[in-house]
Structure 1
Amino acid sequence: MTERTNAHFNKIFNGLKLLVLTLDENQKISYANPFFLHLINSSFASIQGKNWSDVFVHEQNTAIKDILEKTSHEKHSAQYIDELKTQDGNILLVKWNITALENENSIYQGILCIGEDITQHMNNEASLQRQLSELAILHGITLSATTSQTMDDLVADATRLLTSVFSLNNYGIYLANGTNSLIMHDSYQGLTDKKNRDKIIPSTEGILGYVFQSGELYYSEDVQKDKKYYSFDPRTKSELAVPIRLHQATIGVINAESEEINAFTEEDKRLLTTFADTLSIAIEKINLFESTQQQAKEISLLYETAIATSSVLDSEKLFSTIYEKVKKILPLDTFVIVKTVKPNNEYVVVSAIENNKRLIEWEGIPFQIEPDSPFGWVIQKQKPLLIQDLTAEKVFSTPIHEEQPARSWLGIPLIVHEKAIGVMAVQSYKPGIFSKNDLHLVESLGSQIAITMENTRLLEQTQRQLERLSALHDIDLVINSSLDLRVTLNILLDQVVEKLNVDAAAVLLLNQQTQLLNFAAGRGFRTRTIESYKLRLGEGISGQATMERHLVQALDLFESDEGMAYLPLLQEEGFLSFYSVPLIAKGQVKGVLDIFNRKLITPDQDWIFFLETLAGQAAIAIDNTTLLENLQRSNIELSLAYDTTLEGWTRALDLRDQETEGHTQRVVEMTVRLAQLMGIADKDLIHIRRGALLHDIGKMGIPDSILLKPGPLTEEEWLIMRKHPVFAYNLLSPIAHLRQALDIPYCHHEWWNGSGYPRQLKGEEIPLSARIFSVVDVWDALTSDRPYRKAWNAKKTLDYIEEQKDIQFDPQVVELFLKLIKNELFKKL
C-alpha cells in the first residue's frame, strides 16, 4: 500500500468507531486506523509489516489464517469474530468484515479488514438469554408443582431445571429429615459414590448445616480456606448454598459446587434464591396434595386390608397378604413381623420377607427383648418408631443381622387388650426412605393387623387342638387294633412329626436286662445312624430323661454337653433343637421319645403338653403290646402244652392198641396236607390236626377184650366198638379248647350215602374235615398190615377208594386224594 492510499483511508475512516486494517499481497499489515491503534495502545510503526497472528494471539488464529488465504486466492468476502485485548485490560468482541482489495484492472492488491465492537450487543444478548433461562426454570418449577404427583417427582424436576442454567461438578437438593439432619435427594447430580449418595448430613455440620440452621444464603469463594466446609468432593473449589424456607422454617437446602474458585456471581445468588422461593411454594402445594392422598391411602388401605384379611384362616397367608398391601405404599426392602413370648422375655420372628422372597431361615428365631434394639424398644414402649439411619444412631443396635445392613427402619407395636403381642417392621437399605406420613399410614393398620393376628391365632389354636384330639383318637385306635408294636410306633411318630411340626422323632426302648436304651422306630431322618444308637441310663439327654423321669430339652444341641451322646447324628443330620421325654407306664420306664429339629424352636406350653401326652400314648402302646406279647407267649406255651398232651394221649393209645401203632402220626400229616389242597384256611388246620390226633380217642372206652381181640368181633362186640365215636364226643366236648376238633373223632365213620355211624349223617351233613379224614384213614388202614390180614398194595387200595366214592366217600375229596397219592408215588419212583 502507498502512503497516498493510507492517507486516503485516513480521510475515510478517521473519526469512525471502527477498527480498520489493511494487509498487502503477502498478508502483512500495511495500514491501521487511529481508533484501532488507540485501543491496542500501539503505534502503526510497531505493527507495520507484521502478520495478523502477531497482533491477535488467540486460539482461533488457525481459522483466520484459513479465511485470509481463501480471501487472497478467491477474492471473496468473509466475516469473522475475534477477541481483542484493549490497553486497559478489557476484552472486546470484534466482528470483522474481510474483503479483497483490487485495482481498476481487477488485480489483487491486498485485504481490507473492517472491525465493529459488538461487545455490548453480545452482553445485552447474553443478559436477555439469561433472563429468559431464569423465567424458563421458574416457569418450569411452577408447572412441575401442578404436574408432579410426589415430592420425589418435584425435586427431581427441580434438579433437572438447574442443569439448564449451571454447569457444575455437583449440585442438587437436600431435604430436611426432622430437625436433626439433611438427606441428599436421589436426583442429586455429580456424586456417584454410593457411600456419599447415602450420606445423611447432621444439621449442625458444614456449610449445609449452617444454612439449614440460620436460614440464610451462604457463599464460599474458596472452600479450602473455609472452616465451615464439610468435604465431600475433593474437586470442589467454591460452594453456594441457598435455604428452602416454608412458613419461617427451613425445609431444605439447594447446594451448588464448582471446580473453580469464586465461580458464582451475584446473578447466580439471586437466581438460586428466587428458585428456592418458587420451589418452596411448589413444595407446599405438593404437601397439601400428598396430605390429601395420604388420607385417601389410609382409608383405602384400611378397607383393602380388612377385606383381604377377613377370609384368611392361617397365619402364613395372613402375613403374606399384609406384606402385599404394605409394599404397595412403602418403598421397603424387608418386611418382618415378630411376636412376643412373655414367659421367656423373648420375641420370635414369625414372618420375614425380602424383595418378595420368604426368608424361612429367619422364622422361628428367638431374640431377647433388649431396650437397645428397635424391636425391644417398640415392645416395651408400645409406641411406633421411625429411624432414618441406623448406622448413624448411637442408641439402637442393628435390628436383625443381615449381609447388607438396614439403614431406614419403621416399626409399629401390635397391641391387643392393651398388651403388645408383637411388632410389624419394614426396613430399607437406603437411609431416610420412610417419612412421618409413612409411619402414620402403617400405624393406622396396627390395631387391625393385631386383632386379625389374634383371631387367626385363636382359630389356629382351636384347629390345632382339634387336630391333636383327632391324632390322639387315631393313636388310640391303632393301640387297640394293632398287635405289632413297630406299626403302632411308626403311626405315632408320624403324628409326632406332623402335629408338632418337627423334622424327626425316634423311640428308644429300655431293655430291662441290659439297662440300655435301644432304637425301636424313627421318622424324618436322612440317614440310618439313629438305628445303631444304644444309650446307657444317664448317658446324654435321653439317658438323663429316663433317669430323672421328666422332660429334658436342649434348644441348641451344639451348646449343650448333653448333646455329645448324639454328636455323630447331629453332624450328619444338622439338628439344632432336641427334646427327650421318658415313656412311663404303670410307674415303670419303658423308654424315651426323642424329638429333633434342624432349626431352633420356641414351643409354648400347649406344644409341650401335647408332646407329653403323645409320650404317654407311646408308653401305653408299649405297655399294651408287652402285655399282649406276654399273653400270646402264654397262649402259645399253653397251646404247645395241649398239643403235647394230645400227642401223649395218642402215644398211650398206640401202646394199648398194637394194631394202630404209627397209624395216628401218618394220618395226621396226610389229613392236613389234603385239607390244604381242599382250600381250608390255615387258622382251621390246627383244629383238623388235633381232631386227626384224637380220631380214635373214643377207643379208650372200649374194653381190652374187644379192642385187642385177635379174631373177628361178634355182633354184640361190634355194637360196643361202634360206640367209640360217641365215647370220643363225651370225652372231648366238655373241653372248650378241643371243641372245634370234635368233627373228626365224632364223624369220621359216617358214610357219604348215610349208612355210617354213629348218627347216619349223609353227604355234606358230614363235616368236611371228617370227610377228608375218612379217606385218609381207610388208605392208611388198608395199606398197613393187620393181625388178621396182610397190607394191600397201592393200586388195589386206590381202586377200592375210587369204587367207594359216592358210597362211603365224598367224590370231590376222593379226586383230590387220588392226585395227591399219585404225585407221592411218582416222587418215590
Structure 2
Amino acid sequence: MYDSRSAQGSDSFLDIFKKHNSVMLLIEPATGSILDANPAAERFYGYSLAQLRGMNIGAINQLPLDQILREIQSAVKQQKHYFIFPHKLASGEVRIVETRSCPIVMNGREVLYSIIQDVTLSRQAEEALRASEAQFRALLSSIHDVVLVIDRNGVYREIAPTSPDQLFKPSSELLGKSMREIFPPAQAEELIAAVEKVVDTKYPAHIEYDFLLNGETAWFQATISPLGENRTLWVARNVTEYKQLEASLRELEEKYHSLFDNMMDGIYRSTHDGRFVDVNPAMVRMFGYSSREEMLHIDIKRELYFAPEERGSHILDTGQQEIEVYRMRRKDGSEIWVEDHGSYVHDDQGNILYHEGMLRDVTERVRAEAAIRESEKFLKESQMIAGLGSYVLDVSQDVWISSDVLNRIFGIDETYDRSVEGWLNLIHPEHRADMVRYFIEDVMRAGNRFDREYKIIRQSDGATRWVHGMGELELDEQGQAVRMKGSIQDVTERRQMEDALRQRLLELEALYNVSTSLRTAQSVTDVLRILLDQALNAIGTDAGGVLLYDPSRHELRGNLSRGWFVQIHNNSVQADKGIAGRVFATGQPYVSPDFSQDPLLQPDNRQKLPHGWGGACLPIRAGTEIVGVLFVSVELPLEITPEQMKLLVSLAEIAGATLDRTRLFDETARRAAEFQSLFETSKAISAQTELHTLLLLIVETAMKLLNAASSGMYIYLPESNEMELIVDTAPFMEVGTRLKMGEGLAGRVAMTRSPIRIDDYSTWEGRSPHYDGVPFRAVVEVPMLYGGELIGVLAVYEVGDSERKYTEGDERLLSLFASQAAGAVRSARLREEATQRYQNLQTLRAIDKAIASNLDLRITLNILLTHAMDQLNVDAADVLLLHPYDQTLQYLAGRGFHTNLIEGASVHLNDAYAVRAVMERKPVQVSDASQIIENPPFAHLWEKEKFAFYVCVPLIVKGEVKGVMEVYRRTHRVAAGELFAFLETLAGQAAITIDNAQMFDNLQRANMEMAIAYEATIEGWSRALDMRENEAEGHAQKLADLTMTLARMVGVRDSELQHIRRGALLHDIGRMGISDRILLKKSKLTKKETEEVQRHPTLAYQMLQPIQYLRLAIDIPYCHHEKWDGTGYPRKLKGEEIPLAARIFAVVDVWDALTSPRPYREAWTKKKALAYIEEQSGKHFDPHVVRAFLRLMNDLQ
C-alpha cells in the first residue's frame, strides 16, 4: 500500500490519471463506491465511464467481503503492497488482477487511489508450472529406470530416487564423483565421450553398457538427453534378462535352422492370403522348384492346386495341429499327394498371423491304397450287381465261410452255424434228400463240377427262394478233396417269371375270348352276361351269378344266374352283410372253401345253398365305382387256385372297363339331354329382368326340370346372416319364413355351401321347427353361388305319400341349374340396386342443393325428411336435436305424423331407444310392440300413430353426436338392410346440415364479438393517445366523426367509411414510439427532435401493417402529413399519389390543430383557420377536398 498523498489541486495528477495506460480507480473508502475511473479502466472493464462512476467496487470484485478483509490482513502481515483479487468484466469474464492502493486527499476528503494490473496469464502460467512439476515428480516416483544428471566431465550431479537397487553404489557415495572413479578406465572414457557428444550436438544418444552389480554382470541400455549448462539427463534400464533370453534364442535358432535345412520332409510357413514366408530345401525339392527364393514368390492357391474348389487351407482353425491328406500340383504340373501336419499361428488378439507345418510326400502310398480300394470295390460291385454270393467249404474241417452277398441270399449273419449240418438246414425239405444224394454221388465220388438249382428257406424271414449253386473241388496231392470254392445266385425272380409266363399264356387265351365277345356288347346286361359265361368257362364250371347294387335300397340284388344260383336268383342281401356284402364293402376278392359252411353266410340263407360247393366272389367295378359282385362256384374237392383267381380278377377288370364305357355312353346321352334342358332354361331366365317374376320362373323351372312335386327358393340376407323363403310353388309354404344360418336344411346348405339330399325329411333329425307338420318327404337343396358369393338356396321336394328318392344325378342337375339361376338373380338384383341407388343419388343431390342454398335449419331438415320418406318407403320421420347442457333430445323437425305428440318429445339420456342409438353410436330397430312396454311415452306414441316398425340412427359428424333421426312404418314389411344403408347416408346428411347451421351461427356470433372487440380496442388506443398528449376526452372521436362527414361529402363509399373511421382514431398511433421528453416538451423542438417527431407516420405503418384487420385503415396514420405539393413527410408523395382518406383527414387534422389551444399559442378563430386552409389549397391540401370542407363548415354554421 502507498502512503497518503494530497492530490488536491494537482493538475499533474489528474493528467496522469486520465492519460496513463494502467487501470486506475478512485474509490470511496467507507462505502466502496467508485468515484472516478480513467479511460484505461473503461477499456479494461468494458463499462462506460458513466457506468463505472455509478458502480460499487463490490460489483466488480468477486470475493465476499469477509474474504477481502482476510486478504488485506494477510497483505499487512506479509508486508505486501498489493492484493490479488478476481474482477468481473462487463462481458461476464473474470480476470485475476493485482491491486495496489493508497489513500489520497482530493477536494478536502480522503479517497482510495487504486492501480490495477491484469495478472491473469502469469497466474495461469504459475499454476501450470506447479501442476507440471507435480506430474513430473509423480512420474519419477512411478518409473523403475535409473535417472541421473551427469555433466560433460562424467560427474554425477543428481540421482533420482527411482531404483536405488540398480545403482553401482548408494546415491550418497556417487554424487560428486566422476565415472572414471566408478568404471574401468576404457569403459569410463567411452561413456564420458558419449556424454560430451550429447552436450556438443544437443541430440540424444542411446548406449548399452555392463558392470558388476551384486557380484553378477548386469547389462543396461541408457538414453542420454541434453539438459543445458553442460549437463545431460541419463535414463538407464536394466536389460540383463533380455540379453540372457536373446542368447538362448540364438542357440535355439541355430538348432532349428540345422533341423530345418536337413529334414527329409518339407517344412513351410505361409500367410493366410496364400504366400510362403519360409520353406526348407526338402520343400523346394518336393515341388520341383529351383530355389527357396523362387518358391517364396509363387501364389500358393493359384499355382499349387489343380481346381478352384481345392484352393484354400485344408487345415481347420481348431487351435491345435491337424493332419490332412490332399493333393497338390508340382511346378511341372504333375500331381503330388501330401500329408499336411499343420496349424494356425495367432497374435495376442486372436488374429491369424500365418499357417505353418510339415508336408510329407505320400503319393505312392495314396496310389497303392487307391488301387487296392478300386479292386475291392470292383469285385464287390460285380458280385452285388450279379447277386452272386461266394463261399469256401473246408471239407476236412467240415466248415465253410461266405461273402456278404451270400449272407443276404441265405438271410444269415455272423452267428449262424457254418457247418455242413448248418448248410443242409438252409435247403428246403422238398430238395434236401435229393441234394445230399447229388453232392455225395455226382460231386464227391464222381468228381464232377457242382451245378444245380434248388430251393432254400431264407432264415431272416422264412421265405422259400430258388438258388443256382456252382462249385469246383480242390484236391490234395493224394487226390483227396480238401475244399470246394463256388458261388450261389438267387434265381427266384427268374423262376417266378417263367411260371408267370406259362400262366399268362393261359390267361391271355381266356382274355382274348372275353375281349372278342365284349366288342359286340351294347348294354350293361350284355356285358355282365359275357363276363359270367366266360368266367365259368375259364374255370370249367357251370355254377355262378351276378348281383348288382341298388343304391336306393342299399341292397345287392340278383341280375344273372347259372347252375344252382338260379334257385336263389330272387334273393337280395344288404350291401354290408354276408359274403357279397363283404366283397362290395371292401372291394377285395373273397375265396370260400364251402359256401354253405362259410362263417360270413347269414343264417337264414344257409339252408338255401347246396353243400359241397366252394368258390370265389369278386367285385365288379365300373371305373372306380363298385357296381356289383361276381360269384364263381366249383364242386369239391376242386378249388380255385391263385392263378385262376388272378384270371378271374383280370376278366372282371376287362368287363368292368367295358361296363364303364357303356355306362359312360349312357351317362353322356343323359348329360346331353340335361344340358339341352339347361340351355333352354338358361335362355328363359336370361330374358327376365324383373326380380320377382324371375324368382317365380326359377322355382317353376326347377320343379319341371326334376319333375318334382314342388320347389322353393331362399334368399341370403347378409345383414342378419339369415335365409328368407322368398318364393315357393306350394301353397302351404309361408313366404317370408326366416332361418338362421345352420338352421334346418336350407340353413345347413347355406352354411356348408354344399348340396344336401334327404330321402325322408319327416324323419331327419336336423329339421326346423318352422316346418313342423309340413308333409315333406324326399328333399334336395343346393346352394346358389355366384363367384363364391352366396345368393340363396334352391330346393325341390316331394310331399305326402310319395316314395320317390332323388338321385345323385338329380342333385347334380339341380346344382348346375342353381349356378345359372344365381347369376340371373344377382344380375336382376344389381339392376334393381342400381336403379335404387340412382334414385338415392338424385335424392342426395336434391338434399345437397337444399343445404347449400338455405341456412334455415328447419326448412332444410323438412326437405331432407320428405325425401327420406319417399326413398325409404316409410310413413313418418323426424329429427331430434341433442342438447348437451341438459342431456336431452328435443324435437327439431318431423314429417308424416298423424298426431302432434312427437312435437313435444323431450328424451332424457337415461331413457328410450333414441338414447341407445346415441350411446352406442349405431342404429336401433324396433319391430315388436312388446319391446317398448317399459317406455310409456314411446308406447303411447306407437299406439296412437299405429306404428309397426321403427329405426333410430345417430347423427354423427366429426366424431360428435348431434342428435338422432327416426323413421317409422305402419306395416312390418321392410327391407331392413337396404333401409339401414341409405338411412345412415341420410343421417350423415342431416348431421352435416345441423353442424353447418350450428357452425354458421357460432361463426356469425364470433365475428360479431371479434368486431366489437376490435372497435373497442381501437377506441381504447385512441383515448390512450389523447390522455398521453393531454387532449380533451373524445378528441380523437370528434376528429373521426368530422372526417366521416367530410368523406361522405367527397363521395367515399359506405363500405370504406369504417376503415376511414379507424384510421382517423389511430392517426397519431405512431407517436407511441416518440419519447415523452420530446412529445411533451413545452419549448421549441430542436432540428433533431423535429426529425424524431416526423418519424411517427413510419412508426404507425410498422405497427399497423402486420395487423390484417387494420391494414385497410393504414392510409391516414401513414400519409396524413403528406402535402399536395409533395413537400410533406414521410415519403414526399404528391397530388393523387396521396391516398384520398389521408387527403381528407389532413384538412380535418389541421383544422382541429389550428382551432385548439396549444401551450405555446392561443387557439385560432374559425374564420382565420378557414382562411388558412383555403390559402393552402393546392399547396398543403387537395383543392377538391378543401372546397368540400368549406361547404361543410358553411353548412354547420
TM over 0.5: no
Structure (1 or 2) with the larger CA radius of gyration: 2
Structure with more of its chain in strand, by fraction = 2
The higher-RCO structure (CA 8 Å, 6+ apart) is 1
Normalised to the residue count of structure 1, the TM-score between the two structures is: 0.40
